[in-house]
């Protein structure tokens, strides 16, 4: 088979007896389970024969009842008589997509004395599963799992102020770090944690100055948040 040959002249036909072996190679153990157990898998078994090749090579091939195994993407398609339809079985469907998010505060934010203020992260660097809401300024876990949460907030406060950066989960304090600001200088207060989140749990970052009104410094390297699903 010639990679990138989109005229499909080198696509290989696959016999029925080779199906399970190829399913194991492309779809992994989850794919084999799907082939042997789910309702969609039983429907999928009603096929004539199959092709294997790169995803782009399926164009112009097949007729009703044929399967196509895409080596480069791990996707499995079935032809409905007019076009190829992704079955939802295969490595791309069985793998868990982990959420990663990076946001930051782009302009200064004022906070009132002795008031917990949610940091208004307004700029998204990346957010693979669209888990961060810039209107509510919160991360909402798209799936249950273990998440690494890392943030840093920079305060432009008077010398000697007591400030704290807090990671909140579902509105409750989860992790925090205190600092006493130096005289006439910015103070960056980072905090990080690992938390087990359920789907739909929210994560917000709050800032607090015990002694004075304050300003959070809006800049990517100064006030930011990263959340990564690690399990």
* Tens digit of pLDDT at every position of the chain (231 positions): 333 334 454 555 555 445 555 554 544 444 434 444 444 444 444 455 788 888 888 888 888 888 888 887 788 888 888 888 888 765 544 444 689 999 999 999 999 999 999 999 999 999 989 999 999 999 999 999 999 999 999 999 877 789 999 999 999 999 999 998 776 678 899 999 999 999 999 999 999 999 999 999 999 999 999 999 998
Asked if 74 and 170 sit in the same domain, the reply is no
Asked if 191 and 130 sit in the same domain, the reply is yes
Domain count of the fold of the chain? 2
Within a domain: 2: no
Domain end: 94, 120, 146, which one? 94
Note the pTM of the prediction, 2 decimals.
0.61
Asked if 207 and 152 sit in the same domain, the reply is yes
Beta pairing, strands 123-127 & 214-216: unpaired
Cβ(78)–Cβ(47) below 8 Å: yes
Within a domain: 5: no
Within a domain: 7: no
Q: Annotate 111-150 with b (16+ C-beta within 10 A) or e (fewer).
A: beeeeebbbbbeeeeebeeebbeeeebbbbbbbebebebb
**CATH code for the domain in which residue 137 is found:** 2.60.120.40
Token readout for 76 is: 């499995």
Domain end: 26, 61, 94, which one? 94
Asked if 107 and 31 sit in the same domain, the reply is no
Neighbours of 166 (CB within 10 A): 23
């Amino acid at each position: 088979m010639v990679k990138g040959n989109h005229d499909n002249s080198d696509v290989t036909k696959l016999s029925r007896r080779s199906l399970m072996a190829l399913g194991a190679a492309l779809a992994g153990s989850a794919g084999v389970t799907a082939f042997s157990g789910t309702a969609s898998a039983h429907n999928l078994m009603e096929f004539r024969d199959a092709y294997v090749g790169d995803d782009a090579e399926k164009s112009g091939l097949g007729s009703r009842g044929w399967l196509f195994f895409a080596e480069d993407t791990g996707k499995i398609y079935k032809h409905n008589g007019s076009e190829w339809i992704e079955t939802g079985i295969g490595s791309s469907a069985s793998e868990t997509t982990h959420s990663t998010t990076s946001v930051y505060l782009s302009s200064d934010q004022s906070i009132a004395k002795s008031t917990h203020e949610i940091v208004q992260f307004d700029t998204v660097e990346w957010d693979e599963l669209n888990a961060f809401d810039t209107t509510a300024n919160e991360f909402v876990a798209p799936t249950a799992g273990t998440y690494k949460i890392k943030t840093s907030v920079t305060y432009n406060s008077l010398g000697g102020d007591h400030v704290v950066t807090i990671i909140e989960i579902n509105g409750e304090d989860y992790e925090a770090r205190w600092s006493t600001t130096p005289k006439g200088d910015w103070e960056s207060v980072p905090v990080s944690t690992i938390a087990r989140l359920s789907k739909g749990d929210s994560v917000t970052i709050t800032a607090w100055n015990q002694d004075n009104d304050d300003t959070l410094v809006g800049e990517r390297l100064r006030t930011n948040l990263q959340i990564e699903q690690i399990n």
